[in-house]
Amino acid sequence: MFDGSSVAITGGTGMFGHNFLRTMLSMYRVRKLIVFSRDELKQYEMANMFSPKRHPEIRYFLGDVRDEQRLREAFWDVDYVIHAATVRQISAMEYNPFEAIKTNVLGAQNVISASIACGVKKVIALSTEKAASPSDLYGATKLCSDKLFVAANSMSGANGPRFSVVRYGSVFGSRESIVPALMEQKQRGTLALADKRMTRFSISIDGSVEFVIKSIDTMNGGEIFVPKTPSFRITDLATAIAPEASVDFIGFGPGERLHEVIIPSDESWHTLDMRDHFQIIPNEQWAECEKKSERTCSICPSGFQYSSDSNPLFLSVDQLKELVHSGFHRHV
């Protein structure tokens, strides 16, 4: 799909962007690969890893998703856009709420408008489990973003770009996950956990990149794609990282939840089980998808909820040890 095409990724200097670039360069012969981000230092460091001299298809665009005109310049002659730019530090967002809205909500609309203006073929946005029944500002802004991208298919018309969303939990070992914090606390001999009942979903960075690429390939527009991934118990992770350490249960931080919910029960009635993943379908497309579902998939039962505590697949302590020691705790 990507051979001979032009691809742009916003927020391209983050962990996902690094691994997405690595995958694009190793598996496809893209005509142009545009890294769009606002951090010139990260672009400089990334250019040392992926040099335009060795990879002439790479373009580094300095810009902010808050600037629609700059997005239009970056998206000119682009076939596919991956929107990964976001503000996600929860405490900073709670203190500076409108700054989060400018990037996560208004920035999302700018990506949509620029994609339509430039005639992009497909756009997929990265979301988070926090967008499902949000309990903090970050989740609320990402829910707004999800709604914008789903509704954008009506704005673009029959011949315009198709827009979809990928939603999954924290990438195992990423800056947003608990793994780096526990690795640091390990040196002190005491681990701080919120609650012994806590569970989380687990997806590797390679798995997230593969799932995004697969979703771009199969999307029709309007779907929210949710991968089926294993869960783990937070106490098992603590044992895997530091079996000799003591544990303090300190209670929940701002916006923190006992379990991760990626598909809430009130979305179950228009969710398809595609065997290896779920698709949340827009209301206006549901009647047509329901007719096709008998041949290709099944409809989730009423009241179904995809939650980390009720997931049929859990990682063992040994499996978690393997993940940690294989290097997934590194940020890139």
Residue positions annotated with a catalytic role: 130
The amino acid at residue 19 is N
Alpha-carbon gap, residue 94 to 254, rounded angstroms: 9
Contact 168, 229 (CB under 8 A): yes
Q: HSE (CB half, 13 Å, CA atoms) of 293?
A: 21
* CB burial of residue 209 (10 Å; 0-12, 13-18, 19+): buried
For residue 292 the two structure tokens come to: 């096709």
- 3-state SS assignment for residue 135: coil
For CA atoms 327, 202, 1, 20, give the dihedral sign.
negative
Contact 284, 204 (CB under 8 A): no
Contact 94, 137 (CB under 8 A): yes
Alpha-carbon gap, residue 259 to 224, rounded angstroms: 20
* Angle, CA of 213, 56 and 20, to the nearest 5°: 20
Contact 109, 79 (CB under 8 A): no
For residue 62 the two structure tokens come to: 């300095």
For residue 168 the two structure tokens come to: 């999954």
Alpha-carbon gap, residue 177 to 287, rounded angstroms: 38
Alpha helix (H) residue ranges in the chain: 15-27, 40-49, 68-75, 90-95, 97-101, 107-118, 137-156, 179-186, 205-218, 234-241, 286-296, 317-323
